[in-house]
Homo-oligomer: A and B are copies of this chain.
Amino acid sequence: MNPVRIGLLGLGTVGRGTVTVLRRNQDDITRRAGRGIEIRMAAARNLAKAQNFASDIEIVADPFKVVDHPDIDIVVEVMGGIEPTRELILRALRSGKHVVTANKALLAEHGNEIFEVAQETGGMVAFEAAVAGGIPIIKTLREGLTANRIEWIAGIINGTSNFILSQMRSDGKTFDDVLRMAQDLGYAEADPTFDIEGVDAAHKLTIMAAIAFGMPMHFESVYTEGISQLTGKDIQYAEELGYRIKLLGITRRTSEGVELRVHPTLIPAKRLMANVEGVMNAVLVKADALGATLLCGPGAGSEPTASAVVADLVDVTRMHTADPEHRVPHLAFQPKYLCEVPILSMDQVRTAYYLRLSVYDRPGVLADITRILADLEVSIEAMLQKEPSASAQWVDIVMLTHMTVEKRINAAIVRMEALESISGKITRIRMESLDQD
């Protein structure tokens, strides 16, 4: 059988990884797919550099030439960005091609439109590489857990943030110092906003939630809080209490609706997930029949991401001449069965909390604080009071609460901050037990 013909959009880190992996493992890939996978054409910004890297591939500057080319079966989009990428993908679909993409931002923000067009054209859009790099989490959620009602997902899905948090804990360095180091090592971009402010994780969470719960993408509803405000002090106190702080993307189905949130989170240090360090990613899925299952591995990088791109290529190669009814639906559920589910606002979310207060060290202060919490029905699970230094009259108090509604904690914080015996803002970090029962 003739090889399937690929048009590649982008020859950056992931594009080059894809070319390299397809070349190196050509034999094994063909033995699996039943036919060859051949890159016919690639669009790249720097033509000379691209030709030098891949002299056997026809390189063009204009990506529209690739999507319009009649000899291309599958378009691989690894150029990133929203426009003109969205337009390119829609045009590829409308000209009868299939698409493999690693573009989490595009899918989270315009996935509903893209999947609708794919449905009309009978095209496949495969996107394993969009979430957690090479870890096959999309396949697991879409195909491995079809028997289950998925209850919640909690993921370390941004390697840059996890690297920074791991280093802050192990080396006691500040956020800014570690960020610079991450930039030097190539783990963080020059403009790291998307990674450290949780936007990248929110894109990935949006995609996982859609597949898990059979609902459209709702990136605009994800609560997003990054790690740039975290201090070494809180990491240290959390450690003393038996917890680690991780930037988690969390989605959970409750009787009132679905939670969608990305924020720094205290998790028990004994959990496997708490011990996922550096640029690694990990996704913990709780499902009713299976229980809890953890997938962990490299969440970014050239070849790990290419591993997911090529796995998608093999899947699409196998299925592209099959009747669409035989295919796995894009979002796990058949399109006609997708349905809107209420998304909870952060105020409505139930979780536990870490609170750090700087209090004036004198009798009665703790009574004031605990009275406020009691009035709002927030109960305390653990407390840590640091010895004040001889000269200072202000002392840190750390409290861990039981589960409560965020609205109550916010109300308690407003009242506590109004106390004269409390200095400055109260630090509030959410806390999850990740109980697997």
Contact = CB atoms under 8 A, between A and B. Distances in A.
A419 interface: no
A136 B136 CA distance: 10
Nearest to A287: B307
A149 interface: yes
A414 interface: no
A184 interface: no
A304 B333 contact: no
Contacts of A310: 146-147, 289
Contacts of A140: 136, 139-140, 144
Nearest to A148: B307
A318 interface: yes
B25 A329 contact: no
Contacts of A22: 147
A168 interface: no
**Copies per complex of this chain:** 2
Nearest to A333: B31
A21 B147 contact: yes
A113 interface: no
A106 interface: no
A395 interface: no
Interface in A230-285: 272, 275-276
A189 to B, nearest CB: 21
A147 B314 contact: yes
Contacts of A34: 325, 329, 334
Interface in A312-332: 313-315, 318-319, 321-323, 325-329, 332
Interface residues of A, number: 67
Given A147-B29, A310-B289, A326 B326 contact: yes
A259 to B, nearest CB: 19
Given A25-B149, A140-B140, A296-B296, A134 B290 contact: yes
A275 B333 CA distance: 35
B291 A294 contact: no
A66 interface: no
A148 B307 CA distance: 7
A143 interface: yes
Interface in A195-236: 214
A28 interface: yes
A24 B290 CA distance: 13
A135 interface: yes
Given A31-B333, A214-B31, A272-B296, A315 B143 contact: yes
Contacts of A77: none
Nearest to A135: B293
B332 A326 contact: no
A203 to B, nearest CB: 21
A170 to B, nearest CB: 12
Contact of A322 (B289, B309, B326, B337): B326
15 contacts: A17-B289, A25-B289, A34-B329, A134-B290, A136-B140, A139-B144, A146-B314, A147-B306, A147-B309, A147-B313, A272-B276, A293-B297, A293-B298, A294-B297, A318-B325
Q: Top 5 nearest A-B pairs by Cβ distance?
A: A136-B144, A147-B310, A293-B297, A31-B337, A134-B290
